[in-house]
Chains A and B, each alone.
Chain A
Amino acid sequence: MAHITAKKYQAKLADDLCRKTHFSKPEVESLLRMFKKYIPGSANQPHTHHNSRMDRTKFRDVLHNSFDMTDDMLMDRIYRAFDTDSDGFVNMEEWVQGLSVFLRGTLDQQTQFCFAVFDLNQDGFISRDEMFQLLKNSLIKQPTEEDPDEGIKDLVEITLKKMDLDHDGRLSYQDYMEAVKNEPLLLEAFGPCLPSSWAKIAFLATFSEEC
């Protein structure tokens, strides 16, 4: 009985998600199948809203294996961005919706996603400190330099100059959106948080094969 409910639930979910995302129904179904595959030992158990969820380590594995991401901090942040209800897990809905933005999102959606990733304390602004945190590994440290952080600080200032359009010393979402509109290259301004084009193609190829 539970099995049937689960199946029904899943069909409904797939229909629902198909409407909400950039994926077709077969694609949604195959993504859901993929999701189940990633959760160990759950293959035999019926999936319900509560028991099928992905934890942080699992999600990071997926990011690492499928999208070739390596930055721990950013992967963590992406995980948080996927986890829209902030319950510490990614469930099926979040998984499909997240991937929709991740793989096929419009510029606006992706901007929003990236901003969420970079806003470390989730206060709606990216501050100098957050930028510094995000950029601190982006330069090769020159041993000769007196202050190894000087370059990073300078980089933060450069970014602020470029993106902080209302000059309040921090980036609001509005700032971020405008700056990205002017210069699409700044979408992932503080680190790669979207799959590279070829990783995207490779991933889409794997699940369209399944369909």
Chain B
Amino acid sequence: MGQTIARARKSASAADGGSKIAYNSANETLLNKIINWASTYSGAHPEESKLMFKSPMTWPSSLKIDDFSGGAFEQRGDDMVSTETIGTDNLPVIRFHKDSDGLYKLSVLTIADLGQVLNIAKDRRLEETRACLEANPDPLSHIAGDRFSSVSGEDLSTYRYMEEIMKSPREQVDEEAELKKLTLKLVMHVQKFDSDLLKEFAEAVASASRLTATLVEQDVNLLKEFCGDDEDKHVLEDIAFTTEHKFQNGCRSPPWRQINGDISYIEVKPHDEDPFFVTASTTGYFVNKGWIKEKNDLDYEPASDVNANLVELLKMKSAKFAELIVQQDLSMQEASKEDTQEKDAEREKELEQRRREEEQQRSKGRKDHKKHLEPTLTWIADEKEDRRRKAHMKEEEKKSPKTKHQKARMESRGKSKTPYEEDSFSESSSESEEEEEVLERRQESSSDLPSDYWQIQKLVKYLKGGNQTATIIALCAMRDFNLSQETIQMAIRDVGGLEVLINLLDTEDIKCKIGSLNILKYISKNAQIRRAIADLGGLQTMVKILRDPNKELKALAAETIANVAKFRRARRTVRQHGGIKKLVGLLDCAPLNSMSTPEHNKDVEVAKCGAMALWSCSKSTKNKKAMRKAGAIPLLARLLKSVHESMLIPVVGTLQECASEPSYRLAIRTEGMVEDLVANLKSENPELQMHCASAIFKCAEEKETRDLVKKYGGLHPMVNLLNNVDNKELLAAATGAIWKCAISAENVQKFQELKAIDLLVNLLNDQPEEVLVNVVGALGECAKDPPNRAQIRKAGGISPLVQLLTGTNQALLINVTRAVGQCAEEPDNMAIIDRLDGVRLLWSLLKNQNTEVQASAAWAICPCIENAKDAGEMVRSFVGGLELIVSLLKSEDQEVLASVCAAIANIAKDEENLAVITDHGVVPMLAKLTNTTDDRLRRHLAEAIARCCSWGNNRVSFGNEKAVAPLVYYLKSKDKQVHRSTARALFQLSKDPDNCITMHEAGVVKPLMEMVGSADTVLQEAAAGCISNIRRLALANEKAKFS
């Protein structure tokens, strides 16, 4: 601050004695900045701001004693001192005292209190700051001692201080070094602020002092308004430029003078003096030596000092002007003040407006965000909304550039809607991710807190400061609050109750631990509390308690862990502290169906809580592994035989979470758990049914499991579950299980008997996406069986399926395209699909970003083209469709390539379309793919090449693009299908003599000869045809030789 203030003072007039800071706009902004800094500093840097000054800052204050009323101050004689004290001498941080000459002076000892004084001063804060800085020209020397006082020349004080801190002996580290560090921080903050101020000030000064033509013009015009004949009213008789002519750059001086920086010349006629001439140059105004009649020109030599301000210059020159201008000045200032006030008000309004808009925007964004999380069918509305929002945003942007980053954020959100979460199956639950972003909600205001809050605060105080008796009473009293209510939960956290509750877990007293866990168990259902418990290290202690001999305590700890371990970091903490092993240990309780004694019931309770905790923990892959290693599987298998629903739910829940791991799926099958799962499908409890169904959903990826499910009669109850239309979670799990079980053909037969198709088709309407994905998946699997295709049509399933093609959910689209493709195998279905424009929808999905969707759509297109009437015309009607599908041959994904090749093979059946795709360069692109080793791709690629050969000179082109030789190697593949399509391609290609030569050279004859002997007639024929073409060429050659 020192440097800037020195500068500010210099700019004040010398007559004031140099110790005053002049009132001008630059200094005012400067002071305002300092005030702002001082009053916000304590908030930003609480520690530094409390640092005691080396010597107090004292200044004559204009404040009155009355200003210092309130509890923080007390009167001591004539003085007013703050009750807060600092340092070893207990000096009051603020002292308001009478000087020897009767003036009041104010002393302050920390920056925080400087801010406080400014708050007290309110509208006089500007004067106070000014007075303070005038009295303390070098604040830094007060703050940090004389060593930091500003000196001209090299200043090494900071460096030396730093060195001192580093050198200080080890044992001194704690307090003194800490203090020194704080001081250093404070000094650096002040210096930084100082240099910032200086920079700003320098800029302001620079821009003000440099004159421009327009500024001169303004000055002169302004003064002109106050000119006239009246000596008592008008400041000057006249003021005018010497010439009316103005150059293009705005200057009025002749060009040869412009080089010297002159802008224009002004003739001034004051009332009390002779007229004189003033030169306005870029450096400022000065009086020149006046008009020389002989030369009829001005004498440009300066006759006075240069002054930045025309008014200042004139003041010195003319006493009359100086006298009158002050009055004018005042009125002018007043006018301008009003003006600025108006402007301020306007700006305020504008800001308010903008703020409100932003608020709206934000709340809308929040709403949208929620919408994305929810499964929805109203994607169209959503997209419209999206578009509207974008449009709105553009408007917004025009209005205020500040919302730019907001826009970027929203756009990224908009984009992220499409990418497909690849691990939606590998990670068994995505719930954890949602929870990672729990919004911190705060109490809006502390003024209207409920009385419960104060009650809880009191109880926590007793918890902290009481012996175990008081603690138990307080804990029991706390339980009487509604602990599931969020305000109560937050109140406990905000008054520091969590720390105490968690500390209690470390005590010896079992009752205190039980009491504490009894509360933690309930409040840990709140996500923020969970986080806080984990942050405070509560999980570690609870994991330790799991080994306690007291069963009640163990069960409570496990139950609380079950609540807390709902987010990833907590689960990791449990694992890293050996919690998984201990929790698995809890599962090992006495035989389940023995007599129910109180002791045995306790054991069961412990096992149940253990299972609940494991359920929560099992959402992390590493925890699943840890559980397996700890031997959880046989224990879970045993508990699965239990008859208590309360026990079964966490056990099955754990199993279904873990079933995302292949090792668990194997174990579930081999340990005979499938039977129990199937049995529990028939349970009365929908939650249990749901978990069983989703466990089967995950396990039925494997054929053996599917067979077991059928063997134990699981298919029937599964289909029965489809009648629970209202329980969406249950429906999602049940349909998922049906989907996976339907992968086996025998199960499809069974489903057919159970009339599952009709039920499934009914579910195509009004269901959330997670249900739809599974329903459509199941239909897709069932439709592999031809009678079911007709059944789907009869049940009216085609239309809703086609409509689902317009969705956005990636997983759903994959299943829908597959199902539609399966249905399109039957011509009757195809007619309906065609009528509903389903092929166009499929085609548009080729543009989807997800490769799986692309491939699946391309596969679905194949049967459509095969079975549609007038398929060629239909394909042509898609504008840009052929170009699009050809361009997909550039894809990196093997599955996409194979599916697109298959589609192209079908498209190429129509000659006109073949011509179009040839124009789009299909030949070189196919040729480029021929080096692949993937048999699936090879098969369809060869098929596509065979079909494409029939147009124009495509055969020759394939030869030129070197596609022939690689094809010959396909014959070495083990896949019969590849042989078949390759032979056909080779047969087509061999119609061109050059290709025959290439083939022959690549050794095609021998494998082809073998294939002539194949049982497959198509292969036979194609191979033979190819050989005959080669042979014919050879014969023709020979003939040509001999003739």
Contact = CB atoms under 8 A, between A and B. Distances in A.
Interface of A: 134-135, 137-140, 142, 151, 154-155, 158-159, 161-162, 183, 185-186, 188-192, 196-197
Q: At the interface, is chain A mostly helix, strand, loop or mixed?
A: helix
Contact of A189 (B459, B469, B515): B469
A191 B472 CA distance: 10
Contact of A185 (B458, B467, B472, B480): B472
Residue picked from B459, B465, B470, most chain A C-beta under 10 Å: B470
Contacts of A138: 466-467, 469-470
Contact of B472 (A137, A189, A196): A189
A185 B474 CA distance: 11
Contact of B511 (A139, A159, A185): A185
Given A137-B467, A185-B511, A185-B515, A155 B462 contact: yes
Contacts of A162: 473, 476-477, 480
B687 to A, nearest CB: 29
A155 to B, nearest CB: 6
A186 B550 contact: no
Given A139-B470, A140-B465, A158-B474, 4 more contacts: A135-B470, A158-B473, A159-B477, A162-B477
Contacts of A154: 458, 462
B466 A183 contact: no
9 contacts: A135-B473, A138-B467, A139-B467, A140-B465, A155-B470, A155-B474, A186-B476, A196-B508, A197-B550
B83 to A, nearest CB: 14
Contacts of B467: 137-139
Given A154-B458, A158-B474, A135 B469 contact: yes
B477 A191 contact: no
Interface in B415-470: 458-459, 461-462, 465-470
Contact of B469 (A151, A183, A190, A196): A190
B475 interface: yes
Nearest to B478: A158
Contact of B473 (A140, A155, A192): A155
Interface in B488-511: 508-511
B776 interface: no
Contacts of A186: 472-473, 476
Interface string B504-536: 000011110011000000000000000000000
A185 B475 contact: yes
Interface of B: 458-459, 461-462, 465-470, 472-477, 479-480, 508-511, 514-515, 550
A190 B470 CA distance: 8
Nearest to A158: B477
A168 B476 CA distance: 21
A189 B472 CA distance: 7
B550 A151 contact: no
Contact of B466 (A140, A185, A189, A190): A140
Contacts of B459: 158
A142 B462 CA distance: 11
Contacts of A142: 465
A185 B476 contact: yes
A135 B474 CA distance: 12
A179 to B, nearest CB: 9
A71 B151 CA distance: 69
Contacts of B479: 183
A170 B510 CA distance: 28
B469 A188 contact: yes
B466 A191 contact: no
A43 B511 CA distance: 40
A131 to B, nearest CB: 10
Residue picked from A154, A155, A162, A190, most chain B C-beta under 10 Å: A155
A162 B459 CA distance: 14
A74 to B, nearest CB: 10
A133 to B, nearest CB: 13
B291 to A, nearest CB: 86
A151 B476 contact: no
A136 to B, nearest CB: 11
A190 B511 CA distance: 13
A138 B473 CA distance: 11
A125 to B, nearest CB: 19
A158 B461 CA distance: 14
B477 A197 contact: no
Closest 5 CB pairs of A and B: A138-B470, A140-B465, A158-B477, A138-B469, A138-B467
A139 B473 CA distance: 12
A97 B362 CA distance: 73
A83 B152 CA distance: 91
A69 to B, nearest CB: 13
A161 B458 CA distance: 15
Given A159-B473, A185-B515, A192 B462 contact: no
